[in-house]
Amino acid sequence: MLSLVVFRFVTLLFLLPALPSCSTPVRHGGASFHVAIAPRSFKDTLSGTQAIGNASTFDPTPAMREGNALVFKYAKANQFLSGIDLNPDTHPEAGYPKFEPPATPSQGANSASQSRPSTLPSLLSPSPSSSPSSSSSSSPSSSSSSSSSSSPGLVHALMSPDDEAPNIIGMPPMAPGTVQMPLTDYISGAMDVLYYGPLDFGSPPQSLTVDIDTGSADLWMPVDCQGCANDQFSSRHSSTYRGSSTRCAITYDAGGQGSGKVSGTLATDTVGIGPATVRGQAFCAVRKESSDLNDEPNSGLLGMAFGSIAATGRPTFFESLLAQKQLAQSIFSVHLTRTRETGSQVCFGCYDATKAVGPVRWNPVISRTYWTIALDGLSVNNSQSVSANLIAAVDTGTTLIYMPSDLADNFYALIPGSASAMQYGAVPCDTTMSVALILRGETFTIHPGDFNLGRTDADSNDCVGGILALGHGFPPNLAIIGDEFLKSWYSVFDYSGRVGFARSVNNG
């Protein structure tokens, strides 16, 4: 995610010797805040092809900070993707039924005139007989390579204005074993920087906010922290808190000089969301925080990647939910809004059919480390494309889309009038085009307002594009797919080993 201070889990090391002190502590307390902005000047619909003119001016600082932080976040990607230095995979999805999304009419590239369901589908839930028992340990029926059939070259465009979702008032009732975490969209300038939601810690529960990050696998929260600016967990008021002497240190920023750092100790406690709770969940209890983190809206971070890469060596919160049989399905689904503070959510154990239109298209997970899928290339206007053979990490904790530099250069070469600007790709602001990722031979369109990051300067006719080049230090075949893409596609993370995308209603 982007912000002047990148609030991202990047590297978490557990240390036995004493840690060096962080920078000068900041004041205790402080509430979360939201930076409101006026609506974008372009019409905020979900059309797949649209001019990107009238854009605001691009501020390169957040993008530079995010790119800098990603070097640390993916510092061990080479080892992890090669199966080196991984924690044991406990396969907590064992015994859960295979997830089957609801049947919905398929809608192609420009399908505004196609029929739609006459009634709003309810939140998907399994029949009571299909719920896992507390003693079940058999393997799931689904395989890591299972996927829905699809026609090669099928184009998944964004919704047109005629495809607007029904007027939804409230949510359908939740089924047993399913729970929704509402997310707040933290907006800075013209960007949806990060999405955070409430998580309960302790007994009795204390509600605190966490950033949702499918690109990391550890949970951390400030605990009795003198100098941490945001709300924090009070361990002395929890009867189930258990501390330890194992030290943890977290680095957010490559800038050094004491910036972007927190430190603390490993702890366990009851952690939950709504009725779904985990006993003895491990997390890093942060005791010190550098002063440059005091402007972030959330208190902590919830890693949602596979526990095989957790620096604590402990299962993730979601894996613990599965192991303790708190959910009906071994999935979680993510809906992200666009420049709208409310309306985003994570659906634990469920698929919210009110947030999606059309079928779910599945992509097998390549490595049970990050949520990695195969990326075949990029396309422009569904007529020109550049091929690739990449491993793409689907990362809700990253704002933009990052590609190897050669692929990014070849992509921008497809766009007439494109140029280099401030080490980024720039395109004419008045260009009308459709940009898409190619996954398993199918194209998935990116909303033009998300691809456009703003003018290179106030008087320029060039706008910075939302596909950025990764620098040195990354695997040469790695791509990172962030919220810029996920705002257009309702995403389903299935622990049987697949990631699915359905067109998002995006409540826009």
Q: What is the mean pLDDT of residues 98-118?
A: 50
User: Which range marks the domain in which residue 297 is found?
Assistant: 182-326
Query: In the listed set 280, 311, 326, which residue is the last one of a domain according to the structure?
Result: 326
Q: Are residues 310 and 189 in the same domain?
A: yes
Q: What is the pLDDT of residue 101?
A: 84
Query: In the listed set 326, 344, 366, which residue is the last one of a domain according to the structure?
Result: 326
**398 assigned to some structural domain:** yes
pLDDT grade for 11, boundaries at 50, 70 and 90 = very low
Q: What is the pLDDT of residue 55?
A: 64
Higher pLDDT, 198 or 112: 198
Single-letter amino acid code for the residue at 235: S
Tell me the average pLDDT of the chain: 77
Please state, for a pLDDT cut of 90, what percent of the chain lies above it. Answer: 55
Q: What is the pLDDT of residue 68?
A: 81
**241 assigned to some structural domain:** yes
First vs last C-alpha separation in the chain: 21
Q: What is the mean pLDDT of residues 435-441?
A: 97
User: Is-contact 218 311, C-beta < 8 A?
Assistant: yes
Q: Are residues 367 and 321 in the same domain?
A: no
Q: Is the dihedral of CA 52, 53, 54, 57 positive or negative?
A: positive
Q: What is the pTM of this model?
A: 0.79
User: Is-contact 462 419, C-beta < 8 A?
Assistant: yes
499, containing H or E segment: strand 498-504
**335 assigned to some structural domain:** no
Q: What is the pLDDT of residue 104?
A: 60
Q: What is the pLDDT of residue 248?
A: 84
**112 assigned to some structural domain:** no
The answer on pLDDT for 5 being more than 60 is no
CA angle (372, 124, 164) in 5-degree steps = 85
Q: What is the pLDDT of residue 210?
A: 96
Q: Are residues 358 and 478 in the same domain?
A: yes
Q: What is the pLDDT of residue 138?
A: 35
Higher pLDDT, 43 or 153: 153
Q: What is the pLDDT of residue 483?
A: 97
Q: What is the pLDDT of residue 13?
A: 42
The answer on pLDDT for 255 being more than 80 is no
- The string of pLDDT tens digits covering residues 363-374 is 999 999 999 999
Q: Are residues 436 and 484 in the same domain?
A: yes
Q: Are residues 285 and 358 in the same domain?
A: no
- The string of pLDDT tens digits covering residues 193-244 is 899 999 999 999 999 999 999 999 999 999 988 888 889 999 999 999 999 9
Q: What is the pLDDT of residue 237?
A: 96
Q: What is the pLDDT of residue 296?
A: 81
Q: What is the pLDDT of residue 253?
A: 52
Cα atoms in the 13 Å half-sphere on the side-chain side of 21: 4
**384 assigned to some structural domain:** yes
Q: What is the pLDDT of residue 54?
A: 54
Q: What is the pLDDT of residue 174?
A: 58
**442 assigned to some structural domain:** yes
- The string of pLDDT tens digits covering residues 138-149 is 333 333 333 333
Q: Are residues 373 and 278 in the same domain?
A: no
The answer on pLDDT for 16 being more than 50 is no
Q: What is the pLDDT of residue 303?
A: 95
- The string of pLDDT tens digits covering residues 326-365 is 999 999 999 999 989 999 999 999 999 999 999 999 999 9
Q: What is the mean pLDDT of residues 446-465?
A: 91
Q: What is the mean pLDDT of residues 97-108?
A: 70
Q: What is the pLDDT of residue 284?
A: 94
Q: Are residues 369 and 262 in the same domain?
A: no
Domains held by the chain: number: 2
Q: What is the pLDDT of residue 252?
A: 55
> What CATH number has the domain bearing residue 311?
2.40.70.10
Higher pLDDT, 109 or 426: 426
The answer on pLDDT for 493 being more than 50 is yes
Q: Are residues 501 and 359 in the same domain?
A: yes
Quickly tell me which residue has 């097998």 as its tokens: 364
Q: What is the pLDDT of residue 17?
A: 35
Q: What is the pLDDT of residue 492?
A: 98
Residues labelled as active-site residues: 213, 395
Q: Are residues 502 and 412 in the same domain?
A: yes
**318 assigned to some structural domain:** yes
Rounded alpha-carbon distances, angstroms, from residue 23 to 149, 228, 262:
54, 12, 10
Report DSSP letters for 135-163, one per residue.
T--PPPSS-TT------TT-EEPPPPGGG
User: Could you give the 3-state DSSP secondary structure of residue 445?
Assistant: strand
Q: Is the dihedral of CA 380, 383, 385, 391 positive or negative?
A: positive
Q: What is the pLDDT of residue 143?
A: 34
Q: What is the pLDDT of residue 242?
A: 98
**474 assigned to some structural domain:** yes
